[in-house]
Structure formats: C-alpha cells, structure tokens
Amino acid sequence: MARVAVVLFNLGGPDGPAAVKPFLVNLFSDPAIMRVPGVLRWLLARVIARRRALIAQANYDLIGGGSPLLPNTMAQADALTQALADLGTVRTFVAMRYWRPFAADAARAVADFKPDRVVLLPLYPQFSTTTTASSLADWKRAADRARITAPSTSICCYPLQHGLVAAEAELVAAAIAEACAAGPVRVLFSAHGLPEKIVAAGDPYQWQVEQTSAAVAARAGLADGEWVVCYQSRVGPLRWIGPSTEEEIARAGRDKVALVVVPIAFVSEHSETLVELDIEYRELAHKAGVPAYVRSPTVGSGDRFIDGLADLVRDAVARGPGWAPPGGQRLCPGAHGDCPIRAGAAS
C-alpha cells in the first residue's frame, strides 16, 4: 500500500508571550501580506510588529498567553489520520506559516517518512493569495530544500465542500435554536477581512467566502434577509472589504434582532474567535442593545468536517500530481485578469 503524506497548513500563532513579536515580524515580512519592496518591507515589518505586539499580547493574555491554534490543528491532524486509515500508510504533518512548526520542520519530517505521494491541504476553505498561496509557495521552497521528490497534489480550496457546508449548517442551526428565545435572529457569517486592493487585484477569497456562506445559509434553511456576510480582524491603515462585523453588530442593535455569529473562514479556535468574537464583539453587541449574542463554534475536529477533508485527500490521490481544484466547480467570479488559482494550476 502507498505511503501518503498529508500536509496541513495554517497560519500559526505564538506559543507564549516571547513568541508574539517574532511571530508578528514573520507575518508582516511576508510579501503576500505586506506588498512593498524588500528593504522597506523589512523595516515596516519590524515597526508594525513592535506596535501591534502590545495589542496582540493583551489579546493572547486573555487566552492563557498564547494561541491554541497548534494543539487544535494537531487534533484535526490526528482525526484525519484515523479517517484515512483505508488509504494505506497515511501520516499527517502540520506546517504553519508564521510560527512553529514551520514548513521547513514539516518538510524534514515528510522527507524522513519517505512518502510515495504528498497531498498539500490548506486549512483555509477559501483561497487567498495572503494565506493559501503564501503557504503553498513557502512549502515548495521547504520541500525543494528537503529534497522531497514524491509527486504532490495541492488542494487549492474547497468553499463548497459537502462536509464543510453540512458541519457549518448543523452548528448554525443549533446556535439559532439557542438565540431565538430572545426573538427574531440574524446570522452574521463573519470572515477575516482583507485589504480592498488585494481583492481588486484578483484575490478570489471574498467571492469564495460568499459562496460558502450562501451554501450554509441554504442548507440551514435561512431566507434572504436573515443572514449577511461581514468581515472582522481589520489591521493597518488600508481600506478593508466590508461590511465590517462591528457595523453589522451596531445595525442588529438598532433593529433589535438577536445575533448568531458564524466564523465562516476559520476551521478551528484561536485568538480571532476566542478573543475578537467571544469577548470584544460580544461586549459590542451588549452595548449596542442586541437582545442575544450566540457564537457558533468552528467545525474543528467534528466528524462531518474531518470526513469532508478525508474525501478531498482521497480525491487528490485519485487525481494524481498537480493542482486539484474540486472538479466542475467555479472557484472565482471570473471577472479579473490575473487569476491566482489558475496561475497556481499552471505552475
């Protein structure tokens, strides 16, 4: 039976107070995030990281001093290994973009495993140049350095994957059942935002976030007007895509509707869910007079989501090496010139 290495990608998060600043330096040094020339980027990354570190540190202090992203991702990796037991000798590896374990650490472990096949599976259902493309490019450099020669298949994105949509819809339905005791409910599909200029340059993330949200809303039986897509986690001086989750919370306060908040672009818990959604936005909702605020949990290691990931891996192995957008599915609005998904497929 084949030896299959499955590499799971996520952003990474500081594992303690001492890691907050270097993690932020890594993040702001990424040309996919900070789109300015080399030396200026080097300088700006340090200036912004130093300033942001104070805010970020205060947030991580609220959840024990560091990010739970790695342990939560490891739990997903273990669950996925079990779900793929039928496929042969499968081992999962975790590669984080801005903190340990880095792609280089994962690549060394993959090389030692001596796989016949490698499947690259970003834990970002929706493709963004800032996340998916950055992680896969980082992996390519690390894999070349580790001399991994086994054929690999990259899964670009899965905004409409059945297991993802079903898992989200189940969680949304449970959250609505809780919130509706307070009256009419509005569902906010809240995704990490992006600067507008990144979307204008052809990043399909916003379009894919809308696709996932519409599919989950339909499966949960929501009517038009009962749900909205909005964007959280804005950082820096640029204009970001909207509406912002804060604006939608204020509107819900004016309309006196209860809120269910669904983190639609995150598949596990970390600072953006546990601090921003659970503490900061809950307080905003309270102050705005929102009658009830229920946050839907992330899909995490739940069976439906993990079975969905396992289906993606099986499909990728069956397809063979290359780039594997899910068959027959539109992945972008198609209204832009430089499509980063198509560029990935061609490279």
Residues of this chain, 25-44, that bind ligand L6N33NVT according to CB under 6 A: 27, 33
Instruction: Based on the shown chain and the rule CB under 6 A, indicate whether residue 341 belongs to the binding site for ligand L6N33NVT.
Output: no
Is 192 annotated to bind a ligand? Reply is yes
Given 272, 281, 296, 301, the residue binding ligand L6N33NVT (CB under 6 A)? 272
- In the list 6, 45, 52, 206, the residue contacting ligand L6N33NVT (rule: CB under 6 A) is 52
- Please, which of residues 192-251 interact with ligand L6N33NVT by CB under 6 A? 192, 194-195, 205, 235
> Which among Fe ion, ligand L6N33NVT, none contacts residue 332 (Cβ within 5 to 8 A by kind)?
Fe ion
Nearer to Fe ion, 130 or 153 (CB): 130
Out of Fe ion, ligand L6N33NVT, none, what residue 104 binds, judged by CB under 5 to 8 A for its kind, is: none
Q: Considering only residues 5, 7, 9, 13, which one is a binding residue for ligand L6N33NVT as defined by CB under 6 A?
A: 13
Residue 69 backbone dihedrals phi, psi, to 5 degrees: -60, -40
Residue 49 binds which of Fe ion, ligand L6N33NVT, none (CB < 5-8 A, kind-dependent): none
Task: Report the residue number, 69 or 83, with the smaller CB distance to Fe ion.
Answer: 69
Our finding on whether 154 is near ligand L6N33NVT (CB under 6 A) is: no
**Footprint on residues 94-123 left by ligand L6N33NVT (CB under 6 A):** none
- Contact between 130 and ligand L6N33NVT by CB under 6 A: the answer reads yes
Q: Does residue 316 bind ligand L6N33NVT (CB under 6 A)? A: no
Q: Which residues bind ligand L6N33NVT (CB under 6 A)?
A: 11, 13, 24, 27, 33, 52, 56, 67, 69, 124, 128, 130-131, 192, 194-195, 205, 235, 265-266, 270-272
